[in-house]
């Protein structure tokens, strides 16, 4: 067992910045998602990400962090660090940053992972039910998967490589989103009319901020300012750029138009794909990964609306699929000469591919069935989704009593349907000259 090192000021300074960058990704995700929905659901969609900032931060500090990173067994950690017990300024074993900072950094990962799942159920899931889901999921699903691959769990023991979250973040969110979409069911207008994004500028701005934050997400996962962080940082620039080029090409071939929404989606797909591999691939192979990952995600996004599955914002395609591709890509193209850890199949180590394959089999299964069970259980306690009438009004007014755009239409519909008292409150105040 490694002895605890001294705190390194440079490593600590970088990790403070990286933690802030990853935290920024959650409101950036809210903006990104809000652009995709209809205008009457803008605030509710953004608030689902804000809810993750609140609920998941508390639940992860209380028990989630301990379950992920305390000593336990191959499946889950223990409660040694519950409520941040013994998490202070002394570094964790083998690290050069304060343990407390390591917790804060890991908390931001759990926060955004839980927020990602909201993309599957926007425009119809009740806000109280989503709050309860965040609480349970951030304790029962994310910490288990984080422990498997980072906390001394069975995947880590076998040698599975995951630099920044292909297992507990990307595949977990994607396959949890699939389960959520199946349990909560489709929007009432899905398949009957076009349900189009209402603000492409929000989508582009959100994607740009996500890419910016991802430099902390991947670059910070080296936990210092050494070669691993530099490699991950650089690959986070290269892979999404390659994804964009391929996405532009596919858009041009399919419809002779390169779309803004497609470009924003490509940025996310490229960032997701490089996440598990960022510190394990050479820059050249990082670009190849970005290019390769574009293809399955692109065609799944085209195909999904033709099905009855209303996985509304394509979390499975953008995160689950791209994360899976990234995890497997490590098994083929990891280079010890760059990462100092392991080679992949192409460089003579077939065992690494087998270890990566285990992750892509076990992670989707646990995330899917765990999420399915959680939502079914919550559904026994409270309604998971709004009524058709409430869905027609829009969840901004129904769940929050506010509108993103001051047209008044939602408020007028609500007063017509739901009583004289609301109408009285919403009466305009006469201006006396």
For residue 388, pLDDT over 80 is answered with yes
At 433 the pLDDT is 41
At 432 the pLDDT is 42
Asked whether residue 179 falls in the same domain as residue 209, the answer is: yes
d(CA 325, CA 290): 10
Q: Which residues contact 28 (CB under 8 A, 6 or more apart)?
A: 206, 209, 210, 212, 213
d(CA 126, CA 128): 6
Q: 133: domain range?
A: 9-385
Asked whether residue 56 falls in the same domain as residue 19, the answer is: yes
Asked whether residue 330 falls in the same domain as residue 412, the answer is: no
CA atoms within 13 A on the CB side of 16: 7
Q: What is the mean pLDDT of the chain?
A: 93
Helix axes 9-36, 99-117, angle to 10 degrees: 10
Asked whether residue 74 falls in the same domain as residue 127, the answer is: yes
Contact 44, 127 (CB under 8 A): yes
Q: What is the CATH number of the domain that holds 83?
A: 1.10.3430.10
> Residue 431's pLDDT band (boundaries 50, 70, 90)?
very low
- Average pLDDT of the residues in 224-246: 98
For residue 175, pLDDT over 70 is answered with yes
At 424 the pLDDT is 41
Helix axes 9-36, 200-219, angle to 10 degrees: 160
d(CA 327, CA 272): 10
Asked whether residue 380 falls in the same domain as residue 395, the answer is: no
pLDDT digits (tens, 9 = 90+) for 18-33: 999 999 999 999 999 9
Cα torsion 60, 183, 364, 207 to 10°: value is -70
pLDDT digits (tens, 9 = 90+) for 154-173: 999 999 999 999 999 999 99
Asked whether residue 266 falls in the same domain as residue 414, the answer is: no
- Average pLDDT of the residues in 170-178: 98
Residues belonging to the chain: 433
At 189 the pLDDT is 87
For residue 144, tell me if it sits in a domain.
Answer: yes
At 407 the pLDDT is 62
Asked whether residue 32 falls in the same domain as residue 62, the answer is: yes
Asked whether residue 377 falls in the same domain as residue 399, the answer is: no
CA atoms within 13 A on the CB side of 123: 26
For residue 76, pLDDT over 60 is answered with yes
Asked whether residue 206 falls in the same domain as residue 225, the answer is: yes
For residue 423, pLDDT over 60 is answered with no
Nearest to 324 by CA among 284, 296, 343, 288: 296
For residue 2, tell me if it sits in a domain.
Answer: no
For residue 304, tell me if it sits in a domain.
Answer: yes
At 283 the pLDDT is 98
Lowest mean pLDDT among 111-115, 219-223, 297-301, 413-417: 413-417
Which has more pLDDT, 418 or 92? 92
- Average pLDDT of the residues in 237-246: 99
Asked whether residue 365 falls in the same domain as residue 217, the answer is: yes
For residue 69, tell me if it sits in a domain.
Answer: yes
Contact 251, 282 (CB under 8 A): no
Asked whether residue 404 falls in the same domain as residue 371, the answer is: no
Q: Which residues contact 70 (CB under 8 A, 6 or more apart)?
A: 77, 78, 79, 80, 81, 151
- Average pLDDT of the residues in 198-212: 98
For residue 4, tell me if it sits in a domain.
Answer: no
- Average pLDDT of the residues in 424-428: 42
For residue 410, pLDDT over 80 is answered with no
pLDDT digits (tens, 9 = 90+) for 85-108: 999 999 998 999 999 999 999 999
CA atoms within 13 A on the CB side of 395: 24
Asked whether residue 347 falls in the same domain as residue 292, the answer is: yes
Report the domain count for the chain: 2
């Amino acid at each position: 067992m490694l002895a605890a090192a001294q705190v390194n000021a440079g490593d600590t300074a970088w990790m403070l910045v990286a933690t802030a960058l990853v935290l920024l990704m959650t409101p950036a995700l809210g903006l990104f998602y809000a652009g995709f929905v209809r205008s009457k659901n803008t605030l509710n969609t953004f608030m689902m990400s804000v809810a993750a900032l609140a609920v998941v931060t508390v639940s992860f500090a209380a028990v989630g962090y301990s379950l992920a990173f305390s000593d336990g067994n191959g499946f889950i950690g223990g409660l040694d660090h519950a409520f941040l017990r013994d998490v202070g300024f002394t570094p964790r074993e083998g690290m050069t940053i304060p343990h407390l900072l390591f917790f804060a950094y890991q908390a931001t990962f759990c926060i955004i992972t839980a927020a990602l799942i909201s993309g599957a159920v926007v425009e119809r899931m009740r806000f109280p039910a989503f709050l309860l889901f965040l609480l349970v999921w951030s304790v029962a699903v994310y910490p288990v998967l984080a422990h498997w691959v980072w906390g001394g769990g069975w995947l880590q023991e076998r040698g599975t490589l995951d630099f920044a979250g292909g297992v507990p973040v990307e595949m977990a969110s994607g396959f949890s989103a699939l389960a959520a979409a199946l349990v909560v069911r489709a929007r009432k207008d899905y398949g009957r009319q076009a349900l189009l994004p209402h603000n492409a500028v929000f989508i582009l701005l959100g994607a740009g901020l996500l890419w910016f934050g991802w430099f902390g997400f991947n670059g910070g996962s080296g936990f210092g300012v050494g070669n691993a962080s530099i490699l991950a940082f650089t690959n986070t620039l290269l892979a999404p750029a390659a994804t964009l080029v391929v996405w532009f090409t596919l858009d041009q071939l399919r419809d002779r138009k390169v779309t803004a929404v497609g470009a924003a989606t490509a940025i996310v797909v490229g960032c997701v794909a490089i996440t598990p591999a960022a510190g394990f691939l050479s820059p050249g192979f990082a670009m190849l990964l970005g290019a390769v990952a574009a293809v399955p995600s692109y065609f799944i996004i085209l195909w999904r609306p033709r099905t009855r599955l209303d996985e509304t914002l394509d979390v499975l395609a953008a995160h689950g699929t791209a994360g899976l591709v990234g995890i497997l890509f490590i098994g083929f193209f990891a280079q010890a000469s760059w990462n100092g850890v392991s080679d992949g199949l192409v460089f003579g180590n077939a065992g690494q591919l087998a270890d990566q394959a285990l992750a892509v089999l076990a992670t989707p299964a646990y995330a899917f069935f765990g999420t399915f069970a959680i939502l079914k259980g919550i559904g026994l306690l409270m309604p998971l989704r709004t009524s058709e009438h409430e869905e027609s009004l829009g969840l901004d007014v129904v769940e929050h009593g506010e509108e993103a755009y001051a047209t008044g239409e939602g408020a007028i519909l609500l007063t017509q349907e739901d009583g004289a008292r609301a109408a009285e409150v919403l009466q305009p105040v006469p201006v006396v000259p």
